[in-house]
Structure 1
């Protein structure tokens, strides 16, 4: 029975990784597609390849995710049910926000699911490491969108000043070409961040059930499977969310698309390698798009749409947590823990 639950956890984790890919595919390519720098299919192919490569470049974020909970190893079956419930809660919220075209955070859905399932299980079975949640999740969750907005605004102002005497058509043509590089960099950062979160959850399940040792690091098969799942999900696309990011917030031109993507990629790399923080790629690129777009004029940003997105951001952590808690109660009965 225990081995069957382990296999189920791995399969569901990879399914979450797949939904993460199609849910967040728009993060890397929406700006390039909306500015016609890349066709949708080429953009998706580029994003899928770079997502796979990025997933192979580090494990620090994965270990941070695995450290969010302290699950008792005395009851391996219950430990696996907690992880499985957290994944189901995150998947439910991903599908809900995808259906409504809202670019919410798969990262915070996953972390919220872990916390919700752990709280439902109780302190005797799982303890939430709140210092990790606050330092590595909550604080970066607040800071990263602010940094993304401000940096994209400043970078775009610099671009406008540097190219102020150049013909607009020529500038747009040049930045349209540069967006291939910035989109690839953003997709690489997305793989570096988001695929590692799934690796961390699988590793947490393996360690809690005694199928892996924490000191040995992530098994190679976990890394490759997570990279492949998010890459396949990315290639299938997320057209609903792409329309929100690429058109509904603001109509982007190539220089603004480039500045948003370049800033978003920089923030993702910095948080992954310096702070090992699992930040939201969705929050980062959306706020960068708003910052770059605000240089046109503040009213150019459709703040009503932005408000709906922010509402989804705020609801993600508790909503995924509640869904995971409900899933835990059902799974507890199903598996008899």
Structure 2
């Protein structure tokens, strides 16, 4: 086995490892509110989320293409037959994955719901800069930075406004019976959220695997480039592998982060849980299908939870916990990027 093929296999394996950590790191995004309100038991919720993650992962590939082609320019590696260039291209992708996985594990340990998506993007940027590869700053601004600020704002505002409307509609209804109905409705909203998570996050791993195949010179053998349009085509086996990895990760659960989202930010009731999940799911679908932007499911659902929580009273949201979460959000891109840059420089010492 030549070194290029070996490194392609290693990168794909680590990409699926990242996908697995993404699943258990972000499992809380889909089910924390449903579990905290006792709409679903933890294992039932995780099982449902795992299935919906798998289905969502197979519903599109536009976000995968954004990750694969819109963050750094790897054309110098994908269009090269030079063995050394291919190895360096694969080294960039490997370093990006290690940076993302490292940040995922750190934030999981501390129970902070940070963004796996932004960790991966930060890793790509850090490794790209360390390797003097062109970073596509225009694409990052449009597809990453602007959505990074807009999606939490939209999630908070929509969560707040829709919760106010719901409260106005049900204010004359019996409280306990109404909450029981919302608890049933949360099954649907949690499923919708899990579907959106699979739609967004599994695609990011697909984009990385396609990058690895292209950088290693296997784009033609795997029919990745459409001969007519020149666009990337994600192979079916890549879709299934990414969907399977994030599904297994989701089912393993991310209990530390689940406690933060479900109880530490605010004590949720079923009505607020339902609205938060519905708002977050809607934002995920819109950005995936319309804007093809790789937004953070974590940012979206966390801000929606804060929005619905603020309808009780502003002091009902534990802003100290929320502040720690926001700090982690801002640290994600540079922290993952720094780790990826260091890993690439170390790899550069051993790659011929």
Quickly name the TM-score band, shorter chain normalised: over 0.9
Question: Is the contact made by 1:23 and 1:241 (CA closer than 8 Å) also made in structure 2?
Answer: yes
Counterpart in the other structure of 2:65: 63
* Residues 170-212 of structure 1: CA deviation (Å, up to 9, x unaligned): 1100000000000000000000000000000111111122211
Q: What is the TM-score with the length of structure 2 in the denominator?
A: 0.94
Counterpart in the other structure of 1:76: 86
Runs of 4+ in 1 over 3 A off after TM superposition: none
Q: What is the TM-score with the length of structure 1 in the denominator?
A: 0.98
Instruction: Pick the aligned partner of 1:222 from 238, 243, 247.
Output: 238
Q: Does 1:24 align with 2:26?
A: yes
Instruction: Pick the aligned partner of 2:181 from 174, 186, 209.
Output: 174
Instruction: Pick the aligned partner of 1:297 from 308, 313, 322.
Output: 313
Separation in structure 2 between the aligned mates of residue 288 and residue 320 of structure 1, nearest angstrom: 25
Unaligned runs of 5+ in 1: none
Instruction: Pick the aligned partner of 2:288 from 231, 255, 272.
Output: 272
Question: Is the contact made by 1:108 and 1:317 (CA closer than 8 Å) also made in structure 2?
Answer: yes
Unaligned runs of 5+ in 2: 227-231
Report the alpha carbon displacement of residue 334 of structure 1 after superposing the two structures with TM: 3.0
Question: Is the contact made by 1:14 and 1:229 (CA closer than 8 Å) also made in structure 2?
Answer: yes
Question: Is the contact made by 1:207 and 1:214 (CA closer than 8 Å) also made in structure 2?
Answer: no
Separation in structure 1 between the aligned mates of residue 225 and residue 197 of structure 2, nearest angstrom: 25
Separation in structure 2 between the aligned mates of residue 181 and residue 50 of structure 1, nearest angstrom: 11
Cα RMSD of the aligned pairs, angstroms, is: 0.7
Report the alpha carbon displacement of residue 331 of structure 1 after superposing the two structures with TM: 1.6
How many residue pairs align between the two structures? Answer: 333
Instruction: Pick the aligned partner of 1:314 from 311, 330, 346.
Output: 330
Question: Is the contact made by 1:15 and 1:229 (CA closer than 8 Å) also made in structure 2?
Answer: yes
Question: Is the contact made by 2:5 and 2:216 (CA closer than 8 Å) also made in structure 1?
Answer: no
Report the alpha carbon displacement of residue 329 of structure 1 after superposing the two structures with TM: 1.2
Report the alpha carbon displacement of residue 81 of structure 1 after superposing the two structures with TM: 0.4
Instruction: Pick the aligned partner of 1:51 from 44, 50, 53.
Output: 53
